[in-house]
Every structure is written in structure tokens, then in C-alpha cells.
Amino acid sequence: MQFSFSERLKQLPPYLFVELDRKKAEAVQRGVDVIDLGIGDPDLPTPDFILERLKEAAQRSANHRYPSSEGMKAFRCAAAGWYKRRFGIDLNPDTEVATLIGSKEGIAHFPFAFLNPGEVVLVPSPGYPVYHIGTLFAGGVTHFMPLTAENDFLPDLNAIPEDVLKKARILWINYPNNPTAATAERPFFEKVVAFAKEHGLIVCHDAAYSEMTYDGYKAMSFLEVPGAKEVGIEFHSLSKTYNMTGWRIGLAVGNPDLIAGLKKVKSNVDSGQFNAIQEAGIAALESDQSCVETMRQIYQERRNVLVSGLRSLGLNAPSPKATFYVWLPVPQGYTSQTFSALLLEKAGIVCTPGNGFGAPGEGYVRMALTVSTERFKEVIERLKGIL
């Protein structure tokens, strides 16, 4: 008996990182010593004090029962406290904070709460694929907003056609940005708030990389802008900040009605994150954040080695002040795909072709700062042999 995928599933593009894993596995099978700069997965360990909190919490039998789909009150209070200390934002942990099974889960589920079939979602391109995928799953239509170097990788809101805006319901933004590593400042966020109010849009800000900043730069929260909480919700993750990608713990904060809608979806599709993991998350959020500063210093050193090395080879490598990505323009004569293939086949280096994040990403590759400084030195040595 044969089974056919649903039409909705058939619309989905191949998930970018699954294909990268396949190519990497093929190279490893051929005996290649692969240096993987593809998927953005921290190689640094989760801090010991977080592990100890998990071990202690996992020993308590009460934590082995069903958790709440909206998250432990204590975790939501810890998240609100972190936002107050970090950004000066007051949040009601009962109505303005939701616990997520990783921010990816919340990002994918959010459209189900507010998007009707046929309505439009405004999505940055290149961008995190789940903005588009969540739209498709909810029966919506994606309108891609190109992010270009000429506009500092910020969407040109004025370029969105009027007929699209009439059907638009949700606007996604993401700063510091994946994959471009671009940052946004207060004037841009203020423009977004005014634009959302004018056109009746829900603003969703993905702030997963807010703590990965260098050279003294500090990213701001979208919710710091007056009026932002009236129109928006912000998604955050402990994955990158505390090297907890496999733990699947994140949060959403913002407008009470938007949080309530997301919670209602979650109450029907999941049973919440394991309480012991939430307790470990509390330990992370309530810590002195020195582990985060240590992480920043390590990634900054890696960035410096990679960027200076790439520039020494004649490549036009930007030095990002946030995220752990280098958004590298490919050399003349190459496409994103051909340059990525060259690096893998001739140097055993995995990077992500920019067009995998959307058509405007053509002409770039993304390199993640997720191997040691010594390995980055080796990256440069290998590249000397092929460039």
C-alpha cells in the first residue's frame, strides 16, 4: 500500500540542515576530516552549575509527572526577572510569558493561533526557514522581504505592495540576524512598531542571538520600544546563550493576547517541557551571567582568527558584532552552491550556501563559529591550497 503526503507537506522545501548533514555524512564516509561550519550548534559545553541543577531536579519524583503546557510559574518568573535585569522591561509572568520547548517550537506554532488560511505573513529572506514553514503549516501565504547589503540587511517595509499589506497578518523580524549577522537599532524597531500599528500587523521578533555580541556591543529587545508590547511578541532561547541546544527550552514574551493565543495552541499540541529542564533553565537565567561573558570572549577570539584569515586570502569577510556567524560574500565566478561544494570537496569544510536561506542569499555562504580556534587556523591553511 502506498501513502501520499498531504499537499501542505508537499509544499515544504527540503529542510536545509538535513541536506547539509547528508553531504557531511557522505564526506566522512569517504574518510574526509570534515570541519563543520554549517549548522549553528554550539560546541561549547553547558555550564556545570546548570547540569548540577538538572541532576538535582531530576531526582525529585514530582518532576516526573506531566508539566504545565504554559510552563512552570517559577520558570516564567525567572524569565521575567531576566528581562527586567537585561532590558529594563517589566513583564507579568502569568500573562506575558510562555515557556517553549525551544524557540523553534514556538515560532512554528504561533501562526496557528492568529493566521487564517490565505492570509499573508511577511518573512525576511534570507532568513530562518521556520518562519516560512510555520506559515505553510497554518495555511498562510508567505511574502518574502529581501534583506540586502545595500539596506544593511534590514527589510524595506515601504517596498511591500499595498495589495499584500491588505492581506498581511504577521511580520517576522530577527535581530541580531541569522544568517546575515546584521544588527538593528532603535530607529528601525520604532519604524516597525509604527508600521504595524498603521497596517494592523502582529510583530514577531526572534531574539535568539541577543546575547551573542562582541566588542562591547549590546543588542536591544524589540520590546524596549514604546508601543512594541501593543503589537508584538518576542521569542527567546536558552540554546545559544547557555549552550543548551539539545535541551529544548525557550520562552516567548510580550502582548498578553498574543501570549494567550500561543498558550492555547500549545495546550492542545504538547504537554510542556520536563520540569527538571525548566529548573535548570531557572538556574541559567538567575545566574550572574559570567558564563555568558566567557562564551562571548571565546567566540570573539574565533571570529577574529577566521575573519583575519579570510581577509588575508583576499576574501571580503565582514567582522560581525553579533551572532556566531560570518556571512561571507563568495569570490567572483562562484555561486553559493559552487563555492560551498568547492570547500567541501577540496578542503573538507562544510558551510551553508546562502541561497538555502532564500533567493536573496545567493552570492554568500554562512560560516558558524562553532569549532575551536585551532580548527579555524586549519580552515585558513586548507583554504590557502584551493583559493
**Percent of the chain residues topping a pLDDT of 90:** 87
> What whole-number distance in Å separates Cα of residue 330 and Cα of residue 366?
10
**Percent of the chain residues topping a pLDDT of 70:** 98
Domains of the chain: 7-45+290-384 (3.90.1150.10), 48-285 (3.40.640.10)
Query: pTM to 2 decimals?
Result: 0.95
Burial class (CB in 10 A: 0-12, 13-18, 19+), 41: middle
Q: What are the helix and strand counts (H, E) for the chain?
A: 15, 12
> What whole-number distance in Å separates Cα of residue 130 and Cα of residue 125?
12
At 8, is the pLDDT very low, low, confident or very high (cuts 50, 70, 90)? confident
> What whole-number distance in Å separates Cα of residue 237 and Cα of residue 247?
11
Provide the pLDDT for residue 139. 95
Cα Dmax for the chain? 61
Q: How large is the average pLDDT for residues 307-335?
A: 97
Structural contact between residues 385 and 347, judged by C-beta atoms closer than 8 angstroms: yes
Reference 219, options 126, 78, 87, 324; nearest CA is: 87
Q: Buried b / exposed e across 123-160, counting CB within 10 Å, b at 16+?
A: bbbbbbbbbbbbbbbbebbbbbbbbeeeeebbbebeeb
Q: Which of 20-29, 94-103, 266-275 is the least confident region?
A: 20-29
Phi and psi at residue 127, in whole multiples of 5°? -165, 175
353, β-bridge pairs: 365
202, β-bridge pairs: 170
At 40, is the pLDDT very low, low, confident or very high (cuts 50, 70, 90)? confident
